[in-house]
């Protein structure tokens, strides 16, 4: 079995909890001294740094939220002077100000190590050629993958996102064996490769996909289109970036780098900490971050945790694939609907449709209505109108069975739904515009 930092990845849980407790106490003390908002919230509940001695004390600490980053934009939550910050990143500001995070030299070293662990866990080594097709800019994805590849001695191909045909030609010419990008862009690359007829020229073995939710059905389609084994990776800018957790060869959940991050699952309504295996909102505390640490950061992702030792030998907790986000969840006529549920149904339907879809929600006469537009494959045209209506009816019934309500399903022409070279835009909620 291959590991990058075996002394941490296979550490007995009792020793790991001891390490986490020491690092948590260190982090709480320095944040209390250096981050005004954290100190204020601690004082409001009468808690002092010396009250936090172990992981068991974590639940005493206040939560932190994405809105905090917007309220203290850009550098108000940093825990070190700006002269010690080596790099800043930011996430998109589609719903307000973008959020800004900073990294010290030590943070960048630890980030590279976390991504290196994931690369090794998927079978990569110094002979790998890693094509980084995440954006290389303020978005954290590209630089995390790039630095991780260099860390293990692999050859990094920092092409960034966009210019799809050039991506594919570079993949062929440079002999890429590993592809890092969003799953929706991997699907788009697969489609274009089929059109170009060059699949037999690829040398890809491993795909590392993250930054947006994707289903097991989508995993299988990507693997078939690109001829590789697809691995899931989890990360977010507020915690570090890609590499917070990752799948190993057994693909039975994503190992959280627990020597750097402590995960919790809480009830999203009450904030109560839930037990192992229970589904709820994922919360993270960073215990080694220097530049931009967070305590009990509410991610809004819905998942569960599994603390059993994995067959790969790693002892770090595994998080199941998030089933959606509390802020992505649509409430339609009183029913909770996650886009991932719709995607799973569509990918199971198979023949006649493609994985490209869009969910359109509106309000008509004070009643919520929603429509799912799905691209047809080229072959479906030969079946005529009756064939199309049959597929639309089948999808509607499958969605009604899964969701409890049935949307209007409309098959649209091939290539009529816009493609993304980053994160796909799956939902248009017109109710927010009224």
Q: Scan for tokens 């407790």, then name that residue.
A: 21
Q: Does 371 lie in the same domain as 243?
A: no
**Count of CB atoms situated within 10 Å of the CB of 400:** 13
Domain that holds residue 58: 1-326
DSSP H or E run through 411? strand 408-412
- Report CA Rg, the chain: 22
DSSP 3-state of 391: helix
Domain boundary among 304, 326, 348: 326
Report field, pTM of the whole predicted structure over 0.85: no
- Are residues 126 and 165 located together in one domain of the fold? yes
Residues 322 and 353 grouped into a single domain: no
3-state secondary structure of 178: strand
How many domains would you assign to the chain? Answer: 2
365 burial class (0-12, 13-18, 19+ CB within 10 angstroms)?
exposed
Q: Do 258 and 353 fall into the same domain?
A: no
CATH number at 424 reads 3.30.300.30
State the pLDDT at residue 434.
60
Please give the pLDDT value at position 433: 63
Same-domain check for residues 334 and 322:
no
Same domain, 221 and 265: yes
Domain co-membership, 137 together with 204: yes
Q: Which of 350, 351, 332 is nearest to 400 (CA)?
A: 332
Looking at the structure, do residues 320 and 335 belong to the same domain, yes or no?
no
CA distance 389 to 386: 5
Q: Which residues contact 151 (CB under 8 A, 6 or more apart)?
A: 112, 113, 115, 116
> What pLDDT is stored for residue 376 in this prediction?
86
Last residue of a domain, one of 326, 356, 385: 326
Same domain flag for 294 and 385? no
Both 133 and 227 in one domain: the answer is yes
What gap in Å lies between CA 303 and CA 363, rounded to an integer? 30
- Rounded to whole angstroms, the Cα distance separating 20 from 292 reads 18
Three-class SS state of 330: strand
Largest CA distance in the chain: 72
How many Cβ atoms from other residues are within 10 Å of residue 166's Cβ? 10
Same domain, 301 and 350: no
CB 231 within 8 A of CB 242: no
End-to-end Cα separation, the chain, in angstroms? 56
Strand partners, 243: none
> CATH no. for residue 197?
3.40.50.12780
Length of the chain: 434
Identify whether residues 208 and 355 lie together within a single domain. no
Mapping DSSP onto H, E and C, the string for 280-312 reads EEEEEEECCCCCCCCCCEEEEEEECEECCCCCC
Residues in the chain predicted with pLDDT less than 70, given as ranges, are 92-96, 350-351, 380-386, 422, 432-434
Final residue of a domain: which of 326, 359, 383? 326
pLDDT of residue 274: 97
């Amino acid at each position: 079995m291959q590991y990058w930092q075996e002394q941490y990845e296979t550490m007995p849980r009792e020793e790991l909890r001891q390490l986490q407790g020491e690092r948590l106490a260190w982090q709480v003390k320095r944040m209390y001294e250096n981050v005004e908002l954290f100190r204020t919230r601690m004082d409001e509940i009468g808690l002092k740094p010396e009250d936090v001695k172990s992981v068991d004390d974590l639940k005493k600490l206040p939560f932190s939220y994405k809105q905090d980053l917007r309220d203290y934009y850009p550098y108000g939550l940093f825990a070190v002077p700006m002269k010690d910050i080596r790099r800043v990143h930011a996430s998109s500001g589609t719903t307000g100000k973008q959020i800004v995070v900073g990294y010290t030299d030590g943070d960048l070293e630890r980030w590279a190590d976390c991504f290196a662990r994931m690369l090794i866990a998927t079978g990569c080594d110094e002979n790998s050629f890693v094509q980084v097709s995440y954006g290389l800019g303020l978005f954290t994805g590209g630089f995390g993958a790039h630095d991780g590849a260099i860390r293990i001695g692999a050859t990094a191909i920092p092409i960034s996102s966009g210019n799809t045909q050039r991506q594919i030609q570079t993949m062929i010419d440079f002999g890429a064996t590993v592809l890092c990008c969003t799953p929706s862009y991997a699907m788009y690359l697969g489609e274009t490769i089929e059109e170009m007829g060059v699949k037999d020229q690829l040398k890809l073995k491993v795909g590392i996909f993250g930054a947006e939710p994707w289903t097991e059905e989508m995993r299988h389609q990507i693997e078939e289109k690109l001829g590789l084994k697809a691995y899931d990776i989890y990360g977010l800018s507020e915690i570090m970036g890609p590499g917070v957790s990752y799948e190993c060869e057994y693909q039975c959940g994503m190992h959280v780098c627990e020597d750097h991050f402590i995960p919790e699952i809480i009830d999203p309504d009450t904030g109560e900490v839930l037990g192992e295996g229970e589904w709820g909102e994922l919360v993270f505390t960073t215990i080694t971050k220097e530049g931009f640490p967070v305590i009990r950061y509410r991610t809004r992702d819905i998942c569960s945790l599994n603390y059993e030792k994995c067959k790969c030998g790693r002892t770090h907790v595994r998080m199941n694939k998030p089933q959606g986000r509390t802020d992505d969840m649509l409430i339609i006529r009183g029913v909770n609907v996650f886009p991932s549920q719709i995607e799973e149904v569509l990918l199971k339907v198979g023949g006649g449709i493609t994985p490209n879809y869009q969910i359109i929600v509106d309000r008509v006469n004070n009643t919520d209505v929603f429509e799912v537009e799905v691209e047809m494959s080229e072959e479906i045209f030969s079946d005529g109108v009756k064939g199309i209506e049959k597929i639309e009816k089948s999808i509607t019934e499958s969605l009604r069975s899964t969701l409890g309500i049935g949307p209007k399903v409309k098959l649209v022409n091939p290539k009529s739904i816009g493609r993304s070279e980053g994160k796909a835009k799956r939902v248009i909620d017109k109710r927010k515009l009224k």
